[in-house]
Amino acid sequence: MNEVLEQFNDKAAEESFGDYDAANYRIQAVLPYLLPFLFFLPIVTNKEAAFCRFHANQQLAFFILCIAVTIISRILGIIPVLGGILGGLLGVAEFVMAIILMIGAYNGKAYRIPILGNMINIF
């Protein structure tokens, strides 16, 4: 499992994190993965820390992904049985991704969301 997750770990970003930042801002980095609308929390906490900037960008990407999954699930919900099953699977996949990102942030890792995580670099 760890080998699979290392594919998404941005080593360059992780090396730019300070040990102090990763240790002291981990809760601010974990919470928005649980509640995606709080994506701005790490940047408000300390916008100078690379750890906070990285996770704020990834959380914004995750927030956009959650909105897209919700829209797709609603559209699929029109299909009687198959739509409910596919929508449920998308919801479970979103939840699993949130757990993985939370664990990575808590451990000071730099897991990037595939495709969308590379495109968003606002903070």
Nearest CA to 53 among 87, 85, 92, 17?
A: 17
pLDDT of residue 61: 93
Strand, coil or helix: 41? helix
Q: Which residues contact 21 (CB under 8 A, 6 or more apart)?
A: 46, 49, 50, 51, 52
Which pairs with CB-CB distance under 8 Å and at least 24 residues apart come from 81-88?
none
**CA separation for the pair 29, 41 (Å, rounded):** 8
Strand, coil or helix: 123? coil
Domain that holds residue 40: 2-119
Record the tokens describing residue 68, joined without a space: 């897209």
Helical (H) or strand (E) element with 21: helix 19-24
Q: What is the mean pLDDT of each run of 10 residues along the chain (123 residues)?
A: 75 84 90 90 89 92 92 89 89 93 92 86 80
Q: How many domains does the chain have?
A: 1
pLDDT of residue 1: 67
pLDDT of residue 12: 83
